[in-house]
Amino acid sequence: MFRRLVPVLFLLLVPGVLHAQREKLPPDDLEWVEKNFPDAIKSNTGIRYIVIEEGSGETAKRGDMVSVLYIGRFINGDSFDQRIGPKSPFSFRLGRSKVIQGWDQILQLMRPGDKWLVIIPPELAYGTRGSSPRIPPDTTLVFTIHLLSIDDE
């Protein structure tokens, strides 16, 4: 009888365990996101996003030089960083660990002209160490990112 019960228990427990492994937002932050952004799309790495404006063209890829405007906020709405002047965008080479993992991942889904609200779990941002003094450890970050251009040269 025990041999019959083990597979049944396995099938009942595995979906819960797998779900817990995939969800990267802390429980309180997840509750806030689901309440405030119920239509947010979840990427396969746990980043959530909402398309504010749609761009066009090819998506960015590793090695591309990208230029963006952005505002970084905490869940409570307080801003911690921004680059919003169109004459001085933030530019960097994608996929070279010049920015947090969440940015390297989400920008590869975006096209020039896209403007997205992006919610990045702590482990894809600054993790357990944070970025002193501005960003505490284990902090979910919310960005408005406007991808201005992609240069693949």
In the predicted model, what is the mean pLDDT of residues 1-25? 55
Domain count, the chain: 1
Sign, CA torsion 21/75/113/96: negative
Model pLDDT for residues 30-88, shown as the tens digit of each residue: 999 999 999 999 999 999 999 999 999 999 999 999 999 999 999 999 999 999 998 99
* pLDDT-based confidence at residue 113 (cuts at 50, 70, 90): very high
Domain presence at residue 97:
yes
Domain presence at residue 35:
yes
Domain presence at residue 16:
no
Mean per-residue pLDDT over the chain, rounded: 89
Residue 90 pairs in a beta bridge with 68
Here the CATH number for the domain that contains residue 147 is 3.10.50.40
Domain presence at residue 9:
no
Beta strands in the chain (DSSP E): 41-42, 48-53, 65-74, 79-83, 90-93, 115-120, 141-151
pLDDT of residue 58: 95
Range(s) of the domain holding residue 58: 25-151
Domain presence at residue 110:
yes
Domain presence at residue 17:
no
Domain presence at residue 92:
yes
Domain presence at residue 6:
no
Coil, helix or strand at residue 119: strand
